[in-house]
Amino acid sequence: MPVSVRIPQPLRGLTGNLSIVPGEGGTLASCIEGLESSYPGMRERLMDESGQLRRFVNIYVNGDDVRFIDGLATPLKDGDEVSIVPAVAGG
């Protein structure tokens, strides 16, 4: 279990209500593919049709937004924490 992935509430329907799931290392892209095979539907929630990360869902690696690191190519190493944080608008 090289990395842990924090799943936001709106996506926990895909993970059987788990808030933290194990993920594969390598890059963020390979991590998302791993999530997709364990939890089908995850890729579509995180990436658009053109394979880009959706612009209203942020993914952080150890608290840093991957858009400011290397996007889907952001490297992941053992013990990294990946957080998925979608925009919410409720007030």
Partner 1 sequence: MSVNVYIPTPFRHLVGNRASVKAEGATVRNVLENLDVQFPGFRQQVFDTEGHLAHHINVYVNQVEIENLAGEATPVASGDEVAVIPALAGGAGPTVMTPEMVERYSRHLIMPQVGSVGQRKIIDASVLIIGAGGLGSPVALYLALAGVGRIGIIDFDVVDRTNLQRQILHQTADIGKRKVISARETLEAHNPNVNVVVHETPITSDNAFEILGQYDMVVNGADNFATRYLVNDAAYLLKKPLIDGSILMFDGQATVYLPGKGCYRCLYPAPPPPGMVPSCAEAGVLGAMCATIGSIQATEVLKLILGVGDLLVNRLLLYDALSLEFRIVKVRRDPECPLCGDNPTIHELIDYEEFCGAPIPHATPA
Residues that bind partner 1 (CB under 8 A): 8-10, 19, 54-56, 58, 60, 63-65, 67-68, 83, 85-91
Smallest CA-to-CA distance from 6 within 72, 71, 86 is with 86
Name which of 49 and 78 has its Cβ closer to partner 1: 49
Smallest CA-to-CA distance from 66 within 29, 34, 24 is with 29
How far apart are CB 10 and partner 1 at their closest, in Å?
Answer: 7
How far apart are CB 1 and partner 1 at their closest, in Å?
Answer: 19
Alpha carbon distance 14, 56 (integer Å): 19
How far apart are CB 37 and partner 1 at their closest, in Å?
Answer: 23
Name which of 35 and 59 has its Cβ closer to partner 1: 59
Name which of 50 and 68 has its Cβ closer to partner 1: 68
How far apart are CB 64 and partner 1 at their closest, in Å?
Answer: 6
53, 66 Cβ separation under 8 angstroms: yes
C-beta neighbour count of 85 within 10 angstroms: 12
